[in-house]
């Protein structure tokens, strides 16, 4: 197929999922694989129709992850026919993978075999006996890496999201799997075992599965993962967030008139900082087609922020975690909104998006902010828990599953936030105890009043 993206994926809609975890990725992978299998089956039917129309007495079949040729041929050496005939139908395995490139190869092989049959010159060579197919092709990691982009997008649709994932995965592939060594199961295991950090080893395992699937290598990687040890991370408190945005304001006010560009950059970054703090946005969700007209619209009565559908977990509408900060941080300042619009206008490629995210990290370092941009998002997850927002509602607001949300705030909860949670629980418990005492007292008073009333009625009767 000349244009796999145009012909195979043009009618494929990548499933929406709010799950960036393994479960969410698996859902997308399964839907993609199902679509590819459907399209490949359709192409096999088309190829067989063309072969038949061309009077080529060979057909192609999909079988066990491979494409094979089927034809009536002279008896294989040492074989017999139950009816005593000299020919028999055979299915030939030539080591052709079940892919669109493989189908093209199978079609070419069918034409070649068809000519031999028509000329009655077919001979059982190693190729048709399947001996060559059983020999492992010697491919180096470097050769695989050079074809990595074609291989990667032969099984997934090109979108802004998949382009971003590919860019990261390719860099990792280059880091671990680009040597001149011949690919083998032992070599792959050796490379992975030399990676000491759990996260990097997990990334290498993901890439190795792409390699082994492409080359049909049998390899067991189930026991190769390292146990993850979470790092300590200081999540900013609400007080920290407010103080630091005031520091940015002081910096802007200190700029001289002739430093207009520096002031514009600082105002734009202040708005980005504020949006992340109030809505728990991922950095990319601010830069990738932000729906700022809705954010500033008079119809936006609840001050929600809408994330564009092409982002990591699709479209969502977010309620502010701290509504009062919208005014305090001056988030709807028309001049700053215009600066952000202009900044995001040409952010249409993965390369530009990554550059924008990197620049945001640089801004945090330049202004000596004692945390990373993503920590503002983690702070929202923790804050939602302390505010008593139901986990499902908070998870939907942040654009991930309940499972991911729970892991996030548990991982970064910290001693101070635990203290707040305990204090809050004790205060609520104390309040409940007070109410219980009041109820008991009121019940007692009610009983006493009923007794007094009964005595009064009895006196009237007497």
Annotated catalytic residues are 282, 312, 377, 400, 409
- Contact criterion met (CB below 8 Å) for 59 and 71: yes
H-helix segments, 77-125: 100-118
Three-state DSSP state, 439: helix
DSSP 9: S
Q: How far apart are CA 184 and CA 274, in angstroms?
A: 50
Q: How far apart are CA 285 and CA 130, in angstroms?
A: 52
- Contact criterion met (CB below 8 Å) for 251 and 273: no
Q: Which of 20, 421, 416 is nearest to 233 (CA)?
A: 416
Q: How far apart are CA 379 and CA 385, in angstroms?
A: 10
- Contact criterion met (CB below 8 Å) for 198 and 226: yes
- Contact criterion met (CB below 8 Å) for 114 and 56: yes
Three-state DSSP state, 93: strand
Strand pairing category for 305-307 and 66-74: unpaired
DSSP 183: P
- Contact criterion met (CB below 8 Å) for 320 and 271: no
**How would you class 367 by CB atoms within 10 Å of its CB: exposed for 0-12, middle for 13-18, buried for 19 or more?**
middle
Dig out the tokens for 101 from the structure. Answer: 């490139």
Q: How far apart are CA 129 and CA 398, in angstroms?
A: 58
Tell me the β-bridge partners of 62.
67
Three-state DSSP state, 135: coil
């Amino acid at each position: 197929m000349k244009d796999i993206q145009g012909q195979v994926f043009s009618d494929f809609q990548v499933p929406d999922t709010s799950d960036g975890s393994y479960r969410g990725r698996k859902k997308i992978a399964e839907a993609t694989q199902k679509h590819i299998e459907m399209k490949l089956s359709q192409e096999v039917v088309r190829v067989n129709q063309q072969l038949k129309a061309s009077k080529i007495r060979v057909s192609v079949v999909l079988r066990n992850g491979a494409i094979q040729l089927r034809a009536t041929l002279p008896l294989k050496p040492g074989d017999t026919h139950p009816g005593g005939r000299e020919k028999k139908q055979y299915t030939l395995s030539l080591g052709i993978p079940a892919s669109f490139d493989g189908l093209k190869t199978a079609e070419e092989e069918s034409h070649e075999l068809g000519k031999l049959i028509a000329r009655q010159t077919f001979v059982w060579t190693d190729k048709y006996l399947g001996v060559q197919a059983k020999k492992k092709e010697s491919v180096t990691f470097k050769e695989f890496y050079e074809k990595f982009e074609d291989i990667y997008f032969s099984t997934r649709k090109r979108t802004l999201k998949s382009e971003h994932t590919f860019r990261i995965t390719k860099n990792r592939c280059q880091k671990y799997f680009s040597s001149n060594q011949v690919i083998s199961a032992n070599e792959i295991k050796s490379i992975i075992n030399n990676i000491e950090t759990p996260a990097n080893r997990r990334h290498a395992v993901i890439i190795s599965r792409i390699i082994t699937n492409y080359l049909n290598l049998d390899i067991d990687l189930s026991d190769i993962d390292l146990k993850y040890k979470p790092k300590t991370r200081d999540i900013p408190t609400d007080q920290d967030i407010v103080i630091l945005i005031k520091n940015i304001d002081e910096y802007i006010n200190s700029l001289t008139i002739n430093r207009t560009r520096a002031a514009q950059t600082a105002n734009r970054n202040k708005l980005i900082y504020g949006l992340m703090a109030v809505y728990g946005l991922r950095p990319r969700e601010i830069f990738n087609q932000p729906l700022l007209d809705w954010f500033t619209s008079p119809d936006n009565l609840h001050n929600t922020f809408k994330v564009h559908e092409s982002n990591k977990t699709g479209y969502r509408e977010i309620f502010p975690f701290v509504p009062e900060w919208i005014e305090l941080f001056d988030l709807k300042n028309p001049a700053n909104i215009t600066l952000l619009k202009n900044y995001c206008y040409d952010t249409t490629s993965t390369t530009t998006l990554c550059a924008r995210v990197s620049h945001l990290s640089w801004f945090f370092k330049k202004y000596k902010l004692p945390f990373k941009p993503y920590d503002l998002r983690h702070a929202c997850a923790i804050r939602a828990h302390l505010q008593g927002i139901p986990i499902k509602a908070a998870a939907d607001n942040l654009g991930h599953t309940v499972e991911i949300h729970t892991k996030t705030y548990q991982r970064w909860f910290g001693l101070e936030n635990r203290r707040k949670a305990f204090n809050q629980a004790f205060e609520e418990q104390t309040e409940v105890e007070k109410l219980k005492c009041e109820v008991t007292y009121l019940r007692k008073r009610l009983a006493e009043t009923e007794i007094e009333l009964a005595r009064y009625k009895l006196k009237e009767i007497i």
